[in-house]
Amino acid sequence: MAVLWLDEISAGDLEKVGGKGASLGELTGAGLPVPPGFVVTAGTYRSFIESAEIDEELFAAVDVDVEDSSALAAAADRAQELILETPFPDELREEILESYREVGDGEAFVAVRSSATAEDLPDASFAGQQETFLNVTEENLLERVRECWASLFTQRAIYYRQEQGFDHSAVNIAVVVQQMVDAEKSGVMFTSHPSTGDPTMIIEAAWGLGEAVVSGAVSPDNYVVEREDRSVDVSVAEKKVMHVKDEETGTTVEREVPDDKRNARVIDDEEIDRLLDLGERVENHYETPQDVEWAIAGGDVYMLQSRPITTIDDSESAADAASGSAAGGIDATQGITDGSGSAAAAESSDDAAGADTNGAESGSGGMLVDGLGSSPGTVSGAARIVTKLDDLDKVSDGDIIVTEMTMPDMVPAMKRAAGIVTDEGGMTSHAAIVSRELGVPAVVGTTNATTVLEDGRVVTLDGDKGAVLEGQEVEPEEETEPVEEVRPQSPVKPMTATEVKVNVSIPEAAERAAATGADGVGLLRMEHMILSLNQTPAKYIEENGEDAYITELVEGIRGVADEFYPRPVRTRTLDAPTDEFRQLEGGADEPEEHNPMLGYRGIRRSLDRPDVFAHELEAFRRLYEMGYDNVEIMFPLVNDAEDVYQAKRLMEEAGIDPEKRKWGVMIETPASALAVEEMADAGIDFASFGTNDLTQYTLAVDRNNEHVADRFDELHPSVLRLIGDVIETCREHDVNTSICGQAGSKPEMAQFLVNEGISSISANIDAVRDVQHEVKRVEQKLLLDSVR
């Protein structure tokens, strides 16, 4: 038989019906409230491709180097084409349609959901890799089944299987066809604490269909319930949108939540009790904590899916659980743990960066040099003077790099180092930004460290005070994982209407950034990917070809997009001043500028060199083709709407539809702040404040000049006035606003931004959780003030 009904299926049928089908069948058999339906078995898919004699060609097509973007794209296209263009055998067609007619008397709207045989397993979860279609009718059912089969061979699915070591030919796919629940409210539930396994249930709830919660389109309510006494800690979010079925077309659409429901609690105590009862039943049935998708319609509670929680550590103590937890997080419920999935975190920034925990006074040694403490922590190690790139070979694990200024090609050595000291640079220099992202203590702008410190001399670096001291003041600690250092102590992040995202300068920091539980990436800098090639784009293309250059960009962005999927990754196009390009191979052709920060950079460079800019846009186009719909495009240093219209035209010429993709601009100059209304009319989806540049251009303070570092103030009234005016204008034009400058990590700035109504704040990696708590505190105060 091509079809098995859910009440015929149990957990032992995994190979026949895939992880999702087996789970739903097991739940049905246990008497839990699962909507009726059937599964088109994995064997049916296998028979389909073998009977049509496309199986050998199919698996040969996907046997490619997945790191070759062009080959991967061609493989996915060919594999999907083979399946989509192969007709259904008549007997199979009739069996599927006849089964459908038994669901809801033949007029039902159904969900058609992929169920791969390597999906939703206790030790591996690939949920979301294959397709799901909602509100499907008989007219397009067969096509949707075939599209589910074809989705086994999207670029992302091919890439992930190969990375996870799954043989393409050994993975089959079943398709669940299940009656739709026209949910009035829905969400997800962890039956036990997702990192410790403690008897604490966590429920998220939003209005309408659950896809809005799973995809991250809405900030849901959060309910933390102690199972012993059923006490509830409720965090009510502002729920701006909901996913519902359009009554005329039957398709799933996004609607605004009615005003009276936006800030209303979604589920009451009685509904929580019913969910808890079901959660305990399903956990007892499986004998392991579960991650459950649920919905409520017509007063009835339905279970739509249940899978094991993969992030609970088996060790006995919380500390052990924290250090040994799974890095992947819970994939289907980004709104709860957002990939953190662990209780690990240091108690202070000093501890997080490897500071002395034995009570040693970091300031007891003689001061050798001082500067700006740009990345917290106190470490001791041998100083290694780096005056040229060849010197990086002498940097070993635990050494302290001492250099005039860091460059992107130093990143591998910076990852090995215990600390970093530079002569030049301020709090927003490359050394400062990258060291914070890597979790490496740093002191920048010392002016003379490379001449005062001796190579091999043991020193102590205090990244909080900005000092380099004589001798060893800190005993080396056991090696720690930078990723674990930033994991929140609790995987339950503060629920806020204002999204809190994270800044990422280098793809190497993506895993650490994702572990923070941020709502996405507010700024991914493309220039660091380009500068790390150690050649200008023109030189690299000359020696390696256009495709190789584009592939470098695709791989860099994809590494971050993978870590955060489906959370958004806002990627800024090239913004590097000419003095950084001049230091690269091929940089002799770059113009010499008296002040490169005011010169040939950002969108002005891109528009002046559309031939080179086209390669960046082609990288975005390929990523969209590969299925990375979480990537957003951001243009830097725009001044007016004319810049926006030109960039928009180049996007269209590159094959990117501005109506379908999220794109926007940086607000980094007073001119752009004053012209934001015209840019909104040009079609931008968001405007993001680059406070480092906005401050520098408003106050006439060079942000990388240590001599005027004390004059650099993002909280200056003039800067705040520009920001406030832009937020107000954008709200009037339905344009999202965000901040991706370093200032977003400051509590004072967070307070100001939330009060002004900003859409999101993007913080440094080590500040995400603090900003989340600060945002929640400010939002709660606003709510209290509104009712007093």
Point out the residues that are catalytic: 430, 740
User: Tokens 């010499």 identify what position?
Assistant: 592
- Structure token pair of residue 712: 């650099």
Is 431 in contact with 450 (CB distance < 8 Å)? no
- Look up residue 108 and give its DSSP letter: -
Phi and psi (nearest 5°) for 475? -75, 140
Contacts of 652 (CB under 8 A, 6+ apart): 658
Positive or negative, the CA dihedral 69, 72, 78, 84 is negative
Q: Where does residue 716 rank: exposed (0-12), middle (13-18), buried (19+ CB within 10 A)?
A: middle
Contacts of 392 (CB under 8 A, 6+ apart): 386, 410, 412, 413
C-alpha torsion angle, residues 584, 587, 592, 598 (rounded to 10):
-60
Distance (Å, whole) CA 134 – CA 136: 6
- Structure token pair of residue 550: 């584009």
> Per-residue DSSP letters for 437-460?
HHT--EEE--SSHHHHSPTT-EEE
User: Tokens 């968001």 identify what position?
Assistant: 686
C-alpha torsion angle, residues 76, 78, 84, 85 (rounded to 10):
180
Can the peptide bond before residue 566 be classed as cis, meaning omega within 30 degrees of 0? Answer: yes
Is 714 in contact with 741 (CB distance < 8 Å)? yes
Amino acid at 709: A
Diameter of the chain by CA atoms?
A: 86
Positive or negative, the CA dihedral 71, 77, 83, 87 is negative
Strand partners, 460: 380, 469
Query: Given the DSSP bridges, would you call strands 372-375 and 442-444 parallel, antiparallel or unpaired?
Result: antiparallel
- Look up residue 203 and give its DSSP letter: E
Q: In what order do the strands lie in the sheet with 378-386?
A: 367-370, 467-470, 458-462, 378-386, 400-403, 419-422, 442-444, 372-375
Distance (Å, whole) CA 5 – CA 27: 13
